Structure 1
Amino acid sequence: MDESDPRVLKTVPYYRSGYVFISRADRNIDVSSWDDPILKEHNFRIGVLPDSPGKNLLLQINRYDDMFDYFAELTNYESTRNKYIRIDPKKLIDDIADKHLHVAMLWGPEAGRYVRDSKIPLRMQIIDDNVKKLNGDKVPMYYKVYIGVRKDDDALKQQLDVAIKSKSKEIDAILKKEGIPLLPIND
């Protein structure tokens, strides 16, 4: 879970990751920032999940309308209004591999295993954490991940904190094996 849920106690973070741009390795696309001019080119296809920060950022750079048909395809032309439609991030990864998209923006931990397992070599680049809305508010690209514990179970929280700290190298190894891009926790 992320840091903001007030319903539970939170352990120390056990990893930190971010949103990523994913592209085919053979396309040599090097994008790590929403400020990159290539993202504003109307023939450059960018995939994001509906109702994600990526959707808002496409709106901000005036690219949402260009990709509207793609979003409709992702939801089988069903409205996302007042309901949740889960879209497997693998769909976007497959669309990159098939050259239907140039890049996709996804949450790195959600996409990592699909990038790792792709038969087509893919590139995953963590997005710079410098994104701002037009009003100047920050759009976070990096998050620390915690374990949530019942509010009345401080003893369990303390035990988990000790385990996370003492096993951090093993935890990192498991996450890396899964293809999850990691950032330093203490930055």
Structure 2
Amino acid sequence: MTEARLPINTDRVDLRRLTAGAALACATAALLATAPAVQAGEGKAGGRDAVRVCQDPNNLPFANDKEQGFENRIAELLGKYLGVPVTYFNYPQRFVFIRNTLRYKLPGEDYPCDVIIGLPVGFDQVAVTKPYYRSTYAMIFAQGKGLDDVNSVDDFLALGPERLSKLRIGLYDKSPVSQWMDRHNLVDQGVPYQTINVAMDHYVGDIIDKDLAGGKLDVAIVWGPVAGYYASKFNPPMKVVPMKSEPGIQFDFAFGMGIRRGEPEWKAQLEGFLDTHEAEIAEILKAYHVPLVEGEPKVVSN
């Protein structure tokens, strides 16, 4: 895989705040190494010499510059399908991501990348394919710390005012969690974190790795794929309880692939890939402990 970098500045897409291993590596490699699979990619690239992916270099479980995220695994699968290599253009999401990646173009030069592997359906800065997964925010907490009887959001709310009042609940600002905390009289228990953190070593899971694991928080409520992935890193694993959308508060979002507008053939190629690789993608998501929500995807507006 190759990498490109660009020193610039786009409409920020820090979506995963709202927004693991390769357990499947052998099975997926065996499937894709067959002659029919390679042949299936012939002619599907549409003149492209590579799948050029826009990504954040430090954004596990989604992606990183070591190609360890589930979006990296899906990109590899896409490259095999199209019969071309995968390259990455790395740029931090918190620094105006879209304008500096997918839509950035110098005179006389090509775009640095052509697809963002994960964007919410309905995101209006780009064209988004049909969804390939739908997840939800999730509550995460350590086992053996007094919350082992909590298996659902209803269980959590049924703990009663005395127990709830003693909890420190971490959440990112500008997320639906803030509204949910207010609705259920938990504002005083909230420990807010900035959605936009410009520290170069910041990553989406540090609220779990550092403050939750370190005892500064009792509970965190974050985007589900983040909760599921980082929960699995502990022994015993932390407990993950999916949030459920309520009237006026949407926790679950469907994600597809993002491309520039006006590229219908490229979109059709990507959706053809999604149609024919549902099972493989589902296995990748399972390996990264992504909590999935069934049913019709909802549309999120900016």
Worse-superposed segment, 7-16 or 35-44: 35-44
What is residue 135 of structure 1 aligned with on the other side? none
1:9 aligned residue (108, 122, 127): 127
For the residues of structure 2 that align with 1:38 and 1:109, how far apart are their CA atoms? 26
For the residues of structure 1 that align with 2:264 and 2:242, how far apart are their CA atoms? 34
Q: 1:5-44 CA distances to partner (integer Å, 9 max, x unpaired)? A: 2232221101111011112233404153378233752112
Contact in 2 for aligned 1:11/1:146 (Cα 8 Å):
yes
Contact in 1 for aligned 2:227/2:240 (Cα 8 Å):
no
5+ residue gaps, structure 2, are 1-118, 298-302
What is residue 232 of structure 2 aligned with on the other side? 116
Question: Normalization by structure 2: what TM-score?
Answer: 0.50
What is residue 270 of structure 2 aligned with on the other side? 160
For the residues of structure 2 that align with 1:155 and 1:165, how far apart are their CA atoms? 15
One-letter amino acid of the structure 1 residue matched with residue 158 of structure 2: P
Contact in 2 for aligned 1:46/1:104 (Cα 8 Å):
yes
Match of 1:117, SS state, is coil
Q: Whose helix proportion is higher, 1 or 2?
A: 1
Query: How do 1:147-186 residues align onto structure 2 when only pairs under 5 Å count?
Result: 147-184=257-294, 186=296
Higher RCO, 1 or 2 (CA under 8 Å, sep at least 6)?
1
For the residues of structure 2 that align with 1:167 and 1:92, how far apart are their CA atoms? 33
Match of 1:93, SS state, is helix
Change (3 A) 1:66 1:127: closer
Change (3 A) 1:38 1:115: same
Worse-superposed segment, 142-151 or 4-13: 4-13
Contact in 1 for aligned 2:140/2:219 (Cα 8 Å):
yes
For the residues of structure 2 that align with 1:58 and 1:177, how far apart are their CA atoms? 31
Change (3 A) 1:145 1:90: same
Asked which structure has the greater CA Rg, the reply is: 2
How much does 1:2 deviate? Answer: 1.0
Q: 1:117-170 CA distances to partner (integer Å, 9 max, x unpaired)? A: 1234211111122x23xxxxx211111101112211101111111100110111
Asked if residue 85 in structure 1 is aligned to residue 200 in structure 2, the reply is no
For the residues of structure 1 that align with 2:186 and 2:175, how far apart are their CA atoms? 15
Change (3 A) 1:128 1:19: same
Contact in 1 for aligned 2:208/2:230 (Cα 8 Å):
yes
1:37 aligned residue (158, 163, 166): 158
For the residues of structure 2 that align with 1:36 and 1:163, how far apart are their CA atoms? 42
Asked if residue 127 in structure 1 is aligned to residue 220 in structure 2, the reply is no
Change (3 A) 1:92 1:120: farther
The number of residues matched between the two structures is 170
2:170 aligned residue (40, 47, 60): 47
How much does 1:64 deviate? Answer: 2.1
Question: Normalization by structure 1: what TM-score?
Answer: 0.77
5+ residue gaps, structure 1, are 133-137
How much does 1:100 deviate? Answer: 3.4
What is residue 148 of structure 2 aligned with on the other side? 28
Match of 1:143, SS state, is strand
What's the % identity of the aligned pairs?
Answer: 26
